[in-house]
Chain A
Amino acid sequence: MKRKVALYGLLCLLCVPFVFPTWWMVTSSMKPISEIFSESLLPSEPTFATYSQVFRMQPFGQQYWNSLYIAVVVTLGTMAVAALAGYAFARIRFPGQNVLFVVVLTGLLIPSEVTIVPLFQLFQSLGLTNTHWPLIIVPIFGAPCVLAIFIMRQFFIALPPELEEAARMDGLGRAGIFYRVALPLARPALGAVAIFTFLHSWNLYLEPIVYLSTPDMFTLPQALTQFVDNYGGPMWNVQLAAATMTAVPILVVFVLAQRQFIEGLAHTGVKG
Chain B
Amino acid sequence: MTFWTYRRRDNLVGYLFVAPALLGSLAFVLVPLGLVGWYSLNEWNVLGGTFEFIGAENYQRLLADEKLRSALVATAWFAAGLVVLNLSLALLLAVLLNQKLRGTTIFRTLFFSPVLVSLVAWTLVWQLMLQPEGSVNGLLGFLGVDGPNWLRGDTTAMISVIVVQVIKNVGLNMVLFLAALQGVPAPLYEAAKIDGAGPWTRFRRITIPLISPTILLTSIITIVGSLQVFAQIAVLTQGGPGTSTTVLIYYLYQQAFQFHHFGYGATISVLLFVIVAALTLMQWRMRRKWVLHET
Mark B109-122 against chain A: 1 for CB-CB distance below 8 A, else 0.
11111111111111
Residue from A103, A145, A269 in contact with B30 in the complex, judged by beta carbons closer than 8 Å: A103
Residue B265 at the A interface, CB < 8 A? yes
Which of A24, A37, A111, A225 has the largest number of chain B CB atoms within 10 A? Answer: A111
Residue B220 at the A interface, CB < 8 A? no
Q: Distance (Å) between the CB of B207 and the closest chain A CB?
A: 16
Q: Distance (Å) between the CB of B179 and the closest chain A CB?
A: 4
**Do the beta carbons of A110 and B93 come within 8 Å of each other?**
no
Residue A162 at the B interface, CB < 8 A? no
**Do the beta carbons of A18 and B175 come within 8 Å of each other?**
no
| Prevailing SS type, chain A contact patch | helix
Residue B56 at the A interface, CB < 8 A? no
**Do the beta carbons of B30 and A92 come within 8 Å of each other?**
no
CB closest residue in chain B, given A137: B28
**Do the beta carbons of A114 and B273 come within 8 Å of each other?**
yes
**Do the beta carbons of A39 and B101 come within 8 Å of each other?**
no
Which of A82, A209, A250, A269 has the largest number of chain B CB atoms within 10 A? Answer: A269
- Residues A85 and B113 in contact in the complex (CB < 8 Å), given A142-B28, A221-B231, A243-B120: no
Residue from B35, B96, B111, B249 in contact with A18 in the complex, judged by beta carbons closer than 8 Å: B111
CB closest residue in chain B, given A254: B116
Residue A104 at the B interface, CB < 8 A? yes
**Do the beta carbons of B111 and A15 come within 8 Å of each other?**
yes
- Residues A221 and B118 in contact in the complex (CB < 8 Å), given A37-B131, A210-B257, A236-B128: yes
Residue A193 at the B interface, CB < 8 A? no
CB closest residue in chain B, given A148: B21
**Do the beta carbons of A240 and B167 come within 8 Å of each other?**
no
**Do the beta carbons of B167 and A246 come within 8 Å of each other?**
no
**Do the beta carbons of A21 and B269 come within 8 Å of each other?**
no
Stretch at the interface among B8-16, B63-71, B148-156, B190-198: B8-16
CB closest residue in chain A, given B131: A37
Q: Inside 8 A of A138's CB, which chain B residues have their CB? A: 28
Residue from B23, B110, B124 in contact with A239 in the complex, judged by beta carbons closer than 8 Å: B124
Residue B159 at the A interface, CB < 8 A? no
**Do the beta carbons of A203 and B14 come within 8 Å of each other?**
no
Bound CA–CA A88/B19 (angstroms):
10
Mark A118-154 against chain B: 1 for CB-CB distance below 8 A, else 0.
1111100000000000000110111101100100000
Residue A95 at the B interface, CB < 8 A? yes
CB closest residue in chain B, given A269: B176
Bound CA–CA A261/B115 (angstroms):
11
Which of A7, A107, A202, A244 has the largest number of chain B CB atoms within 10 A? Answer: A107
**Do the beta carbons of B256 and A116 come within 8 Å of each other?**
yes
The bracket for how many chain B residues form the interface is: 35 or more
Residue from B23, B29, B117 in contact with A247 in the complex, judged by beta carbons closer than 8 Å: B117
Q: Inside 8 A of A234's CB, which chain B residues have their CB? A: 124, 127
| Prevailing SS type, chain B contact patch | helix
Tell me the residues in window 145-197 of chain A with beta carbons closer than 8 Å to chain B beta carbons: 145-146, 149, 173-175, 178
Q: Distance (Å) between the CB of B194 and the closest chain A CB?
A: 21
Bound CA–CA A8/B103 (angstroms):
9
- Residues A15 and B110 in contact in the complex (CB < 8 Å), given A110-B273, A114-B272: yes
Residue B241 at the A interface, CB < 8 A? no
Known: A18-B171, A21-B126, A146-B25. 4 other contacts (CB 8 A): A94-B15, A240-B128, A247-B118, A270-B180
Residues of A that sit less than 8 Å from B by CB:
4, 7-8, 10-11, 14-15, 17-22, 24-25, 28, 36-37, 39, 80-82, 84-85, 87-89, 92-95, 97, 100, 103-104, 106-122, 137-138, 140-143, 145-146, 149, 173-175, 178, 199, 202-203, 205-206, 209-210, 220-222, 224-225, 234, 236, 239-240, 243-244, 246-247, 250-251, 254-255, 258, 261-262, 265-267, 269-270
A-B contact pairs, 25 of them (CB 8 A): A7-B96, A11-B96, A15-B110, A22-B125, A28-B125, A28-B128, A81-B20, A84-B18, A84-B20, A88-B18, A92-B11, A116-B269, A117-B269, A141-B24, A142-B24, A142-B28, A145-B21, A202-B118, A203-B118, A221-B119, A221-B120, A224-B121, A236-B128, A243-B124, A270-B176
